[in-house]
Amino acid sequence: MTDATDRGRYAEHDGDFAMIAPAGRLLVVYFGYTNCPDLCPTTLAYLRAATRELGDDGALVDLAMVTVDPDRDTPDVLNGYLASFTDRFHALHPSSIDELEVAENAFLASSSISIGDDGNVEVGHSATAYVVDSRGDVVVEWPFGVDKDLMARDLRVLVERTKQER
C-alpha cells in the first residue's frame, strides 16, 4: 500500500489540508472535476450509497476531492457539487498546476486538460478512489467501476478496524 505521510499539505479554499484521515475515521481521496460526464458522478454516487449502507458508521467516512479542473471548478462550484453526494467532504482546489501535480504524484494519479480549436475543454483523468487511514496509509484503491456493494464491504471492514484502534 502507498504511504500518504509524505504527501504534505494541499490547498483548500479556506486553508491547507493534510491527506490523512482524522483519528477514528477514514478519508476517501478522489481526483476529478464537476463537469465530468461519467466517471466522477458514478464513483461519487456509489460512494454515497456505500456509506449509507453502513448506517451510523457511514459518518466515519469523509471525502476529499481534488479538482483537476481548477479554472472551471471554483470553490463554490466544487462545494455545491460535493454537497450533492455527502455532507462530509473537503473540496480541494489546488492553487497551481504544480500543486495539483504534487498531489497527483503522491497518489500516482494523473490528469490533463486541452482546449480544442473550437474552444471545447477536454479533461482526462485517472479514476481511482483511494481510502486513507489515520496513519496516512492508502489501505484500499478502487478503480473506476467498483460498485457500491464492494465499496460498502471494504468500508465496513476498515471502519471496524478503525473502531478497534481507538
Where along the chain do its domains lie? 5-165
82, three cell numbers:
460535493
Residues 72 and 29: beta-carbon distance below 8 Å: no
Whole-angstrom CA distances from 6 to 111, 137, 140 are 21, 10, 18
Lowest mean pLDDT among 24-28, 64-68, 161-165: 161-165
H helix or E strand, kind and range, residue 40:
helix 39-53
Q: Mind listing the pLDDT tens digit for each residue in 2-49? A: 334 434 344 444 567 889 998 899 999 999 999 999 999 999 999 999
Average pLDDT in the 45-57 region? 97
64 Cβ contact partners less than 8 Å away, ≥ 6 residues apart? 17, 19, 27, 28, 29, 30, 89, 90, 92
pTM: 0.89
Lowest mean pLDDT among 26-30, 50-54, 87-91, 155-159: 87-91
> pLDDT above 90 covers what percent of the chain?
75
Q: Mind listing the pLDDT tens digit for each residue in 120-140? A: 999 999 999 999 999 999 999
Predicted pLDDT of residue 8: 39
- Selection from 96, 108, 111 nearest residue 7 by Cα: 108
In whole numbers, what is the pLDDT of the chain averaged over residues?
89
DSSP string of 105-147, one letter each residue: HHHT--EEEEE-TTS-EEEEE---EEEE-TTSBEEEEE-TT--
CATH value of 5-165 in 3.30.590.10, 3.40.50.1370, 3.40.30.10, 3.10.20.440: 3.40.30.10
13, three cell numbers:
479554499
Residue 1 pLDDT > 50: no
Q: 92 or 165: whose pLDDT is higher?
A: 92
Lowest mean pLDDT among 8-22, 83-97, 103-117: 8-22
